[in-house]
Chain A
Amino acid sequence: MIIARFLGPRVWILVGLILAAAVLVPLANLALPPGHPLHMPSYLVPLFGKYVTYALLALALDLVWGYVGILSLGHGAFFALGGYAMGMYLMRQIGSRGVYGNPILPDFMVFLNWKALPWYWSGFDAFWFAALMVMLVPGLLAFVFGFFAFRSRVTGVYLSIITQAMTYALLLAFFRNDMGFGGNNGLTDFKDILGFPIQAAATRAGLFSASCIALAIGVLLVGWITRSKLGKLMIAVRDAESRTRFIGWRPEDVKLFAFTVSAVMAGIAGALYVPQVGIINPSEFAPVNSIEVVVWAAVGGRGTLIGPILGALLVNYGKTVFTAIAPDSWLFVLGGLFVFVTLVLPRGIVGTIDHGWDAWRARRRSAAKEKGESGDGDGSILPHPAE
């Protein structure tokens, strides 16, 4: 297998861990009786499932930010679009079980006197179509947006700000009830997914496993991309864009590829997120959410595969804990954490550990070298090659 050769052991350990979670968590929840010491309480399953989709989102962002150097402040938009596509499918699945019993129209359309389903809702009753849209809509938006932005060489903070403008515009647009996406309340009150009741423990466990598998595939995909020559090129674009241009590459193509792939990943994350939290509404487009994703990646360590995943899990778990134990002051903790990480751990947790490890190894190696030979050639003139 090509992939196997490309990926190092660390990636496989990571994928193994994720897949183990995909199996063990549902087992601990479903197979073990509630009294058992290893039993996983039901309420934790969707909570952890949510973290896993966040991890996938953070990984998607890391592909563009960590590897290509595009700081997108609008990745929440792709996440939310994927979520809306899934939400629309789930809404259609409600069928006539809505409060008004209308077999076609979702409740919010009924009480706002909509007479027919808008054209863009058609097709969403089929899962395959919704699944396609989950990838296609964010992907297409990213492609079109990226195509123009990268071709015009919009870079750095300018790009960050217009991605923010993009998600902000979408936020406002989805707030509008006239858009037909439920306005501020968004889409909610889902009943079932693929015929399984959405609130059943088994469905929850299944969604959790699906999220883990998606994350594992995401890790493999990002691992494969970043370890290919293209991955090297991405880093090259990140570090010296004009140099890549002058050796004949088109950085805009590289960026567009990464941006689009990343948006599709974010869309999938969103689609898995929605059935687990039970609601999708415009606040997912809020610029602050997108900034938070950046924070996860930064805390964990960008430019690594494990970093963003770890960051997303840690920050969100911290948020869960602190909003409960210190509801009046958890923002101090969260804000302090961001400041601390950027000041003390600029490479993020994983980056710092990696760096420390490399430095330690380098020290050992150079110490060993010094014992053997008198010096290395650094800085001195190299021997003239024999002609």
Chain B
Amino acid sequence: MRSAMTWMQRTALAATIAAFGVSGAVAADTKPKGEPIKVGILHSLSGTMAISETTLKDAMLMLIDEQNKKGGLLGRPLEPVVVDPASNWPLFAEKARELISQDKVAAVFGCWTSVSRKSVLPVFKELDSILFYPVQYEGEESERNVFYTGAAPNQQAIPAVDYLMNEGVKRWVLEGTDYVYPRTTNKILEAYLKSKGVAAEDIKVNYTPFGFSDWQTEVSAIKDFGSAGKKTAVVSTVNGDANVPFYKELANQGVSAEDIPVVAFSVGEEELAGIDTSPLVGHLAAWNYFESIDTPQNDDFIAKWHKFIGNDKRVTNDPMEAHYIGFNMWVKAVEKAGTTDPDKVIDAMIGVSVPNLTGGYSTMMPNHHITKPVFIGEIQDDGQFQVVWQTPGLVPGDAWSDYLPESKPLISDWRKPMSCGNFNTATGKCGGAGAEKAAAN
């Protein structure tokens, strides 16, 4: 009896109704009939992370729009439900709960920072829903309810270091923002470099706070470190906002890519849009996608994006491609399972293979990470990247790094009968959280 709703339910549902109204406008011109399938979009539209995440919200709206034009999914229209977690981590959890419990979305595409993902994880596990996480991250995680479409460290950091070693770099500055992604990546890189015979005194690790803007001391320290007569490179895991002042200071202090190249894992087309890149030509970034990559799929994607957003100066970037891959994988898995029921879709996801934008196919692996090519690009003066190197084949994402002692024995396989995100090959047991799930199945 819906007529007898309590005030509480009614007020809580007010949000749904309004969200329905907002998204109804988007879905208005769709042909498919039937009750819409709701897709949650959980990206910050305000606060510090809005700078990166808003684009992803728009990209998702475009993908859903495209899918509806193609006839929707299972003959039903898709309906996006957009919420704003406002760069506030507990709010991410609250909004995730709202999307799943109240809006009954079939899957959620969202999060950017590691902490936002960590914050929503328990919610997705508890309510047994699906999250597609599109950003490169530190690894060391494999959850049944999460699909990681961004790069794991072995799909970004290690190939980048390999490339630089080939270029003759002997001395390394690992410069990062002080949070988990840089910390873990640098731990992995340190172990990797040492395994390749780099001496401890040739590695310098330094961390700065979030949003750091006065880079004079750090850049000058990099210059000093680089003047020891050996070829030096900087591996930057500096986060979002701090990058612009970092690069501006590099340019001003005359650190050129020829002398000390900087390879970044968090700087893409979107971040460079805020900088005059002519002094930065030659600095590097490692990604699984660049806007400049010349393939028909990519051209098509860029054209659609420009049309959708109504501005042909807006760039595309790697996390957008990750959402593109993730969304298409989900669509395919739902079609394969014939339902949006999360449990069935989760099982159907493994092995699904969809074209990526760089001319190949990406496959969802049993550890819920995907296979991707890795590209090293050099910054050009037009704010784009020119690919200077790429991995010969696809690199499968590795949830558990082989270069950290504790995670070395762990593997992840969500197929039955193992169904475990952290199977310990040393003890032969599924450790920790996975145990409960495995027992439940």
Direct A/B contact, Cβ within 8 angstroms: yes
A residues adjacent to B (C-beta < 8 A): 37-38, 40-44, 46-47, 50, 96-102, 107-108, 110-113, 172, 175-177, 182-186, 188-190, 199, 277-279, 281, 283-284, 317, 320-321, 323-328, 330-331
How many Å from the CB of B414 to the closest CB on chain A?
Answer: 14
How many Å from the CB of A66 to the closest CB on chain B?
Answer: 26
User: Is the Cβ of A175 less than 8 Å from the Cβ of B179?
Assistant: yes
The docked-state distance in angstroms from the alpha carbon of A204 to that of B410 is 33
The docked-state distance in angstroms from the alpha carbon of A50 to that of B84 is 18
Contact with A along B12-30 (1 / 0, CB 8 A): 1011101101100000000
The answer to whether B86 has its CB under 8 Å from any CB of chain A is yes
Residue from the list A112, A183, A281, A323 in contact with B84, Cβ < 8 A: A323
User: Is the Cβ of A184 less than 8 Å from the Cβ of B180?
Assistant: yes
User: Is the Cβ of B4 less than 8 Å from the Cβ of A37?
Assistant: yes
User: Is the Cβ of A324 less than 8 Å from the Cβ of B114?
Assistant: no
User: Is the Cβ of B433 less than 8 Å from the Cβ of A188?
Assistant: no
The docked-state distance in angstroms from the alpha carbon of A176 to that of B102 is 37
The docked-state distance in angstroms from the alpha carbon of A328 to that of B407 is 41
Interface centre among A40, A112, A278, A328 (most CB of B within 10 A): A278
Name the A residues within 8 Å of B115 (CB-CB): 184-186, 279, 281, 283
Name the A residues within 8 Å of B118 (CB-CB): 185-186, 188-189, 279
Nearest A residue (CB) for B15? A324
Residue from the list A40, A99, A279, A330 in contact with B8, Cβ < 8 A: A40
User: Is the Cβ of B94 less than 8 Å from the Cβ of A175?
Assistant: no
The answer to whether B271 has its CB under 8 Å from any CB of chain A is no
Residue from the list A99, A189, A283 in contact with B422, Cβ < 8 A: A99
Provide 25 A-B residue pairs closer than 8 Å at the C-beta atoms, listed in order of the A residue.
Answer: A40-B8, A43-B100, A43-B101, A43-B102, A46-B97, A47-B97, A97-B436, A98-B433, A99-B410, A99-B422, A101-B429, A111-B140, A111-B404, A111-B406, A112-B184, A183-B180, A184-B115, A184-B179, A185-B114, A188-B121, A190-B122, A278-B90, A278-B122, A320-B15, A327-B82
The answer to whether B85 has its CB under 8 Å from any CB of chain A is yes
The docked-state distance in angstroms from the alpha carbon of A132 to that of B8 is 36
User: Is the Cβ of B431 less than 8 Å from the Cβ of A99?
Assistant: yes
Nearest A residue (CB) for B140? A111
Nearest B residue (CB) for A95? B432
The answer to whether B383 has its CB under 8 Å from any CB of chain A is no
User: Is the Cβ of B22 less than 8 Å from the Cβ of A325?
Assistant: yes
The answer to whether B189 has its CB under 8 Å from any CB of chain A is no
The docked-state distance in angstroms from the alpha carbon of A35 to that of B169 is 66
The docked-state distance in angstroms from the alpha carbon of A113 to that of B9 is 48
Name the A residues within 8 Å of B21 (CB-CB): 325
The answer to whether B195 has its CB under 8 Å from any CB of chain A is no
The answer to whether B439 has its CB under 8 Å from any CB of chain A is no
How many Å from the CB of A289 to the closest CB on chain B?
Answer: 9
User: Is the Cβ of B89 less than 8 Å from the Cβ of A331?
Assistant: no
User: Is the Cβ of B432 less than 8 Å from the Cβ of A277?
Assistant: no
Residue from the list B85, B90, B114, B436 in contact with A184, Cβ < 8 A: B114
Name the A residues within 8 Å of B122 (CB-CB): 188-190, 199, 278
Name the B residues within 8 Å of A111 (CB-CB): 140, 184, 187, 404, 406-407
The answer to whether B310 has its CB under 8 Å from any CB of chain A is no
Known: A43-B97, A44-B12, A324-B19. A183 touches B6 (CB 8 A): no
Shortest 10 CB-CB contacts between residues of A and residues of B: A325-B18, A101-B431, A184-B179, A327-B84, A43-B101, A37-B4, A324-B15, A277-B90, A199-B126, A323-B84
The docked-state distance in angstroms from the alpha carbon of A284 to that of B422 is 30
Nearest B residue (CB) for A190? B122
Nearest B residue (CB) for A274? B90
Name the B residues within 8 Å of A44 (CB-CB): 8, 12
Nearest A residue (CB) for B138? A111
The docked-state distance in angstroms from the alpha carbon of A199 to that of B437 is 14
How many Å from the CB of A179 to the closest CB on chain B?
Answer: 10
Name the B residues within 8 Å of A330 (CB-CB): 46, 84
User: Is the Cβ of A281 less than 8 Å from the Cβ of B89?
Assistant: yes
User: Is the Cβ of A325 less than 8 Å from the Cβ of B15?
Assistant: yes
The docked-state distance in angstroms from the alpha carbon of A38 to that of B436 is 33
User: Is the Cβ of A324 less than 8 Å from the Cβ of B98?
Assistant: yes
User: Is the Cβ of B433 less than 8 Å from the Cβ of A41?
Assistant: no
Name the A residues within 8 Å of B209 (CB-CB): 172, 175
How many Å from the CB of A176 to the closest CB on chain B?
Answer: 6
| Total of A-B residue pairs, C-beta within 8 Å | 177
Known: A37-B6, A113-B405, A320-B94. A99 touches B424 (CB 8 A): no
Contact with A along B349-371 (1 / 0, CB 8 A): 00000000000000000000000
Name the B residues within 8 Å of A107 (CB-CB): 140
How many Å from the CB of B104 to the closest CB on chain A?
Answer: 11
Known: A111-B187, A184-B179, A331-B46. A278 touches B119 (CB 8 A): yes
Known: A175-B209, A279-B90. A100 touches B101 (CB 8 A): no
The docked-state distance in angstroms from the alpha carbon of A179 to that of B219 is 25
The answer to whether B95 has its CB under 8 Å from any CB of chain A is yes
User: Is the Cβ of A99 less than 8 Å from the Cβ of B432?
Assistant: yes
The docked-state distance in angstroms from the alpha carbon of A40 to that of B101 is 12
Interface centre among A97, A100, A199 (most CB of B within 10 A): A100
User: Is the Cβ of B180 less than 8 Å from the Cβ of A189?
Assistant: no
Contact with A along B34-72 (1 / 0, CB 8 A): 000000000001100000000000000000000000000
Name the A residues within 8 Å of B84 (CB-CB): 323-324, 327-328, 330
Q: Which residues 400-441 in B have Cβ within 8 Å of A in the complex?
A: 404-407, 410, 421-422, 424, 427, 429, 431-436
Having A183-B183, A188-B119, A188-B122, one finds 16 other A-B pairs with CB under 8 Å, namely A43-B100, A47-B98, A97-B436, A99-B141, A100-B422, A101-B424, A112-B183, A112-B187, A183-B180, A189-B433, A277-B94, A279-B119, A321-B11, A323-B85, A323-B95, A331-B46
Name the B residues within 8 Å of A110 (CB-CB): 406
The answer to whether B91 has its CB under 8 Å from any CB of chain A is yes
Name the B residues within 8 Å of A324 (CB-CB): 15-16, 18-19, 83-84, 95, 98
Known: A37-B6, A40-B8, A43-B98. A113 touches B187 (CB 8 A): yes
Name the A residues within 8 Å of B18 (CB-CB): 321, 324-326
How many Å from the CB of A253 to the closest CB on chain B?
Answer: 36
User: Is the Cβ of B421 less than 8 Å from the Cβ of A99?
Assistant: yes
User: Is the Cβ of A177 less than 8 Å from the Cβ of B97?
Assistant: no
How many Å from the CB of A171 to the closest CB on chain B?
Answer: 9
Name the A residues within 8 Å of B119 (CB-CB): 188, 277-279, 281
Name the A residues within 8 Å of B424 (CB-CB): 101
The docked-state distance in angstroms from the alpha carbon of A223 to that of B431 is 50
The docked-state distance in angstroms from the alpha carbon of A324 to that of B187 is 39
The answer to whether B5 has its CB under 8 Å from any CB of chain A is yes
Nearest B residue (CB) for A200? B126
Nearest A residue (CB) for B143? A99
The answer to whether B202 has its CB under 8 Å from any CB of chain A is no
